[in-house]
């Protein structure tokens, strides 16, 4: 019997507090939004009659009423929530915002990032946030298919086109008609096939192998690679004209080690997920495990983190995952708390300084820019010894 879990939407523009709240409500499916616009988009999509609970930071009745009023007002453009991407780091939030902005535009996108950074997840998020969301999302890993088969996989073939072609078969490009084609590891496409792909991008027509009929197609192309395409162009192993066709917009995805705080955030998410699926006795992680996660460089990025957490949840003997279960050296919990506190303080200082500078010292306007009350801003400035 499937357990019915209630849903909870948290609207909080402070990402650190947002994530603290997210993991404070066990037994709920928790969703987060960073603004009233995002919350409205979510409510309209899921449940327009959702009850609204407002927690006001400055404790005043008026601010709570303003918040509820804002949530009830329809916005003119609508906002997107971007799929299942989980992040609290400014580095990755910037990437997600870029994806949100370019999703409605029917342009080719090139995602550059190391293996395990979530390129396909971002591609799916881009598709789901676009006008093609109800059409197919077709993915193909160009590096995982032998060179002599890749052309047929992409463009399809007619019956009898070659030995073993016993029936006419549509290729991935044709299957993606009306939707999005995701070419993972596009840097692995051989030069001869790059020419044919370029022709499709220029003319938006294909011919199946062994066929003579031109087939017009409406497909958005999103590509990804961990390779350095600029170097490949210099080495003449990747066409520069194809590079510019594929990368009308290029998005660089940071390593997990470069995503401030995300390793711990994602680790908690994976522990919760795999505990439900595989080991319900697991209640969380020890502070030593959290410290070890924070200190590790994660060369395999999010994929490595997910795999280690999955194995640890299965192997853990107690109620909490330990650093040993992760096969990481035991971390120092005191150092972790200090580092997180220092990082939070540095982020607060930077945001406050920029807001005050942008508003030319006007504290009221700076507070509005930061999304906090004027007294709260004064308290923070006093706490961090910041003066106008």
- The number of folded domains in the chain is 4
Mark whether 36 and 159 lie in a shared domain. Answer: no
Q: Which of 215, 235, 254 is the last residue of a domain?
A: 254
- Domain boundary pick from 72, 106, 121: 72
Query: In which element (H, E) is residue 11 found?
Result: strand 6-11
For residues 112 and 50, membership in a common domain is answered with no
What token pair was written down for 162?
A: 């070659």
Determine the Cα–Cα distance for residues 17 and 279; give it in Å rounded to an integer: 28
Is 129:102 a contact under the CB 8 Å cutoff?
Answer: no
Question: How many Å apart are CA 17 and CA 387, to the nearest integer?
Answer: 25
DSSP bridge partners of 215: 206
Tell me what pLDDT residue 83 has: 59
Structural domain containing residue 295: 257-326
The CATH number of the domain where 27 resides is what? 3.40.50
Could you give the C-alpha distances from 261 to 17, 56, 89, 199, 267, in angstroms and in order? 13, 26, 6, 43, 10
Q: pTM for the whole thing?
A: 0.66
Domain stop point among 254, 269, 296:
254
Distance between CA 208 and CA 219 in Å, rounded? 16
The answer to whether residue 84 sits within a structural domain is: no
Q: Are residues 166 and 246 in the same domain?
A: yes
Which single residue is written with the structure tokens 């109800």? 134
Residues 129 and 161 in one domain: yes
| 272 and 150 share one domain | no
Residues in the chain with pLDDT values less than 70: 1-5, 13-27, 35-80, 82-84, 329-342, 360, 387-388
Q: Are residues 246 and 262 in the same domain?
A: no
- The domain that holds 113 is classified in CATH as 3.40.50.300
Residues contacting 81, CB < 8 A, separation 6+:
31, 33, 38, 41, 42
Residue 246 is inside which H or E element, if any? helix 240-246
Shared domain for 248 and 191, answered yes or no, is yes
The pLDDT value given to residue 82:
59
Beta bridge mates, 220: 180
């Amino acid at each position: 019997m499937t357990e019915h879990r209630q849903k909870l939407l948290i609207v909080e523009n402070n990402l650190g507090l947002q994530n603290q709240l997210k993991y404070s409500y066990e037994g709920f499916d928790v969703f987060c939004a960073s603004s009233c616009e995002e919350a409205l988009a979510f409510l309209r999509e899921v449940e327009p009659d959702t009850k609204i609970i407002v927690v006001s930071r400055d404790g005043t009745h008026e601010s709570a009423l303003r918040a509820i009023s804002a949530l009830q007002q329809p916005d003119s453009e609508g906002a997107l929530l971007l799929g299942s991407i989980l992040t609290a780091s400014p580095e990755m939030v910037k990437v997600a915002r870029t994806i949100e902005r370019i999703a409605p535009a029917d342009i080719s996108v090139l995602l550059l990032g190391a293996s395990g950074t979530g390129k396909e997840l971002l591609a799916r998020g881009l598709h789901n946030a676009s006008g093609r969301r109800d059409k197919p999302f077709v993915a193909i890993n160009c590096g995982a298919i032998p060179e002599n088969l890749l052309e047929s996989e992409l463009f399809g073939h007619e019956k009898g086109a070659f030995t073993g072609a016993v029936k006419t078969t549509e290729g991935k490009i044709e299957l993606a008609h009306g939707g999005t084609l995701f070419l993972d590891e596009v840097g692995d496409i051989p030069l001869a096939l790059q020419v044919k792909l370029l022709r499709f991008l220029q003319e938006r027509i294909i011919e199946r192998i062994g066929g003579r009929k031109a087939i017009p197609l409406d497909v958005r192309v999103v590509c990804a690679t961990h390779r350095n395409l600029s170097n490949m162009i210099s080495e003449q192993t990747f066409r520069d004209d194809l590079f510019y066709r594929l990368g009308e917009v290029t998005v660089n995805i940071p390593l997990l080690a470069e995503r401030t705080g995300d390793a711990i955030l994602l680790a908690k998410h994976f522990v919760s997920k795999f505990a439900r699926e595989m080991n319900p006795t697991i209640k969380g992680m020890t502070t030593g495990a959290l410290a070890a996660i924070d200190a590790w460089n994660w060369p395999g990025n999010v994929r490595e983190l997910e795999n280690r957490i999955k194995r640890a949840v299965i192997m853990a003997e107690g109620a909490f995952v330990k650093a040993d279960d992760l096969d990481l050296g035991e971390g120092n919990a005191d150092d972790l708390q200090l580092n997180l506190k220092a990082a939070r303080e540095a982020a607060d200082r930077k945001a406050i300084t920029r807001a005050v500078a942008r508003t030319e010292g006007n504290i009221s306007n700076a507070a509005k820019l930061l999304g906090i009350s004027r007294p709260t801003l004064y308290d923070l400035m006093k706490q961090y010894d910041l003066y106008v």
